Amino acid sequence: MRTVSGTNNKILEIDLTSKKFIETNVSEEDRKNYLGGKGLALKLLYDRLTPGVDPLGADNIFIVTTGVLIGTGAPNSARFSAVSKSPLTGIITHSSCGGPFGNALKTSGWDGMILKGKSVSPIFLLIDSQGVKFTDAENFSEKTTSETETHLSYFGNGSLAIGPAGENLVRFANISSGERYLGRGGLGAVLGSKNVKGITARGGECKIVPKDPETFKKYSSRGFKYIKQNYYIEKKYKMYGTLNHLSSNNNAQILPVRNFKESSSPEAEKISGEYIKETRNPGYRSCRNCSILCGHEGVFNEKLTSVPEYETTCLLGSNIGVFDIDKISEWNDICGELGLDTISAGGTLAYVMEAAEKGLLDSPLRFGKPEHIAKTLEDIAFMRGFGSEIAMGSRKLSERYGGEEFCMSVKGLELSAYDPRGSVGMGLNYAVANRGGCHLSSTIFGLEITMGLLDSESTINKATYVEFMENAIAAINSLHTCLFTIYPFILESLFLRYIPVFVLKPVLRYFPFIAKLFFDFSTYSGLFSSITGIKISGRDFLKSGKRTHILERYMNTREGVDSNGDKLPYRILNENSRKPGLNPFPLNKMLKKYYRIRKYDTNGIPMRSSLKRLGIEADGKQNRT
């Protein structure tokens, strides 16, 4: 086994049409500017993707990149990124995953993989340190994700696999890696359109060693220490998983119920993390090298399986009026096996239920009725009957049947499980998020609801915090580590940890430029520098995130996105289930300020001067000056 100091700096570029591959190198400048993970993947895509290509055509490009942490043993270092043009939204999509493929790819000697073209028939890709082999996958047509990964496990230590949904080009098909998923935006359909059923990497062919082992040990130890002493990790995520948010969000009235018509329910306790802990005695089932342990397992429907995540539980539960955790678990397992994104599946089913209720289309699906759900999910994945229309997503359905006023999506991506009418910062986050109705763009609900540090119903300085969190999260997704590390790594610094809450709240709310000085990103930048030997500061780390976020926005503007896309569903803007009669949602006020902070013009397009300052040339090539 050879030893790699820091990073491989090699990308495996595969042409599926010609069945050939080449090695592409990562420059030190790109490594410093984009770190790895999401940032590097977007940079590689930006230099190769022609605007306007069909997301399901041979000219679309699919890219996976690892971060610098994978293989080092750093805290929560299993994550990797994938980017492409989304068949659901028609714009750029990014997804993060904690499955085993990232580590296997990295320890096969590659920091990333680029797929171009299209195979004439279904294939598997077998990756090792020498490159890639192409093998026939015809006999695996319509096999589930777990069946496919079981087959691939004979050839490698980590895989990507699509289910029938990906093969049949369901617009919100996902990709599995172990029991984790590249979930949003239809990446499974992109692989399906290229006739790639699965990919595996041999792994274990090289050992990753930080360039500065002593400094790495210092920051790695600090990270583990911060995680262990953080209240939100120890008392929330480890105890209840991501479902720790359900009860608090229900109490705060930001829980989606019945297609966001309501924002809380007395029945929500039946699907809460507390209820599952009391009744299912859950254990842990988390990502590799995870010390946060938000992934849990328990007994549902008389079998041991993963506890559904918060988003799944809400979108396939409360949002369709179902509060039966065993049913939700059943549907979660079906989606996992068939390769369906649970958030978009739940959001689209909720649209169908309301449209059927209003007589706009014919469907037996009804709120609160679990009948027909399992069969409908199968019909979607196999493109059977009306399932083939549901497979297009809620936006396409609303354009065909009407009811756009209750289509709960932004830029074509179904909203995740936070009602922004009780968390106005999340409303701005949804409206401007690069991939659409995504909660992971700035996750400002954590400051508004989870910690209660910002007034959840006030617009004051929300644009400032959304921009700040977008930069931070883009950088974390590029390093690449778990987003939940933001709680311990930022909040557990000695200075911030001991500031009294009565002092911290007013400073955060009214003096954000002072408050942001409290947040210490040195654990992240220290890990990056010690592994790669490229010195960056916490400020450089944030700037990299800003560069990544604005690059992604600019790529979307080349696909037609402008201020017209930065909007919220009619229901959010004009109906308020929490306080009937309350003024319309104050999006425009925040949006104008956000554009000013971001240096976008009035149409929401990044200014050329802003791109230039970040070293991004408008022709799709990196500015080397």
- What is residue 434's DSSP assignment? T
Closest among 422, 516, 529 to 471, alpha carbons compared = 516
| Token duo for residue 296 | 């849990």
Residue 622's pLDDT band (boundaries 50, 70, 90)?
very low
Counting every residue, how long is the chain?
A: 625
> How many CA atoms does the CB half-sphere of 156 hold within 13 Å?
32
What is the CATH architecture assignment of 241-414?
Answer: Orthogonal Bundle (1.10)
Strand partners, 339: none
Per-residue model confidence (pLDDT) at position 190:
98
Would you give the end-to-end CA distance of the chain in angstroms?
39
DSSP state of 129: T
Identify the pLDDT of residue 494.
65
State yes or no: pLDDT of 135 exceeds 70.
yes
**Which pLDDT score is estimated for 31?**
97
Residue in the structure block whose two tokens are 């990709």: 175
> What single-letter DSSP state applies at residue 5?
E
Which tokens go with 15? 């042409």
CATH 3.60.9.10 segments of the chain: 2-209
Tell me the whole-structure pTM to 2 decimals.
Answer: 0.96
Which residues in the chain are classed under CATH 1.10.599.10?
420-613
The predicted structure's pLDDT at residue 582: 62
Instruction: Report, as an integer, the average pLDDT of 596-620.
Output: 91
**Model confidence pLDDT, tens digit, residues 507-530:** 999 999 888 888 899 999 999 999
| Range list of H helices, 453-537 | 462-479, 486-491, 494-497, 501-510, 512-515, 522-532
Give the Cβ contact number of residue 512 at 10 Å: 19
Report, in angstroms and rounded to the nearest whole number, the Rg of the chain calculated over CA atoms: 23
Q: Is the pLDDT of residue 502 over 90?
A: no
> Can you point out the beta strands (E) in 6-79?
10-15, 20-25, 62-66
| CA 126 – CA 160 distance, rounded (Å) | 11
CATH 1.10.569.10 location in the chain: 241-414
pLDDT of residue 289: 81
Q: Which CATH class is domain 420-613?
A: mainly alpha
Judge whether residue 331 has pLDDT over 50. yes
Q: Which of 301, 269, 303, 308 is nearest to 285 (CA)?
A: 308
Residue 143 CB partners (closer than 8 Å, separation 6+)? 151, 163, 164, 197
Mean pLDDT on 565-573: 96
Nearest CA to 160 among 91, 250, 99? 99
Does 623 have pLDDT greater than 50? no
CB–CB of 113/11 below 8 Å? yes
What's the pLDDT score for residue 606? 96
On average, the pLDDT of the chain sits at 94
What pLDDT score does 410 carry?
Answer: 98
pLDDT in tens, 314-330: 999 999 999 999 999 99
Interval 159-213: pLDDT, tens? 999 999 999 999 999 999 999 999 999 999 999 999 999 999 999 999 999 999 9
Select from 224, 167, 226 the least CA-distant residue to 198: 167
Q: How much of the chain, in percent, has pLDDT values that exceed 90?
A: 89
The first and second tokens of residue 243, run together, are: 């479902």
Q: How far apart are CA 399 and CA 408, in angstroms?
A: 13
Sequence-distant (6+) residues with CB within 8 A of 285 are 179, 295, 296, 297, 306, 307
CATH 3.40.50.620 is right for the domain spanning 2-209: no
Residue 57: CB atoms within 10 A of its CB come to 12
Whole-number pLDDT of residue 624: 31
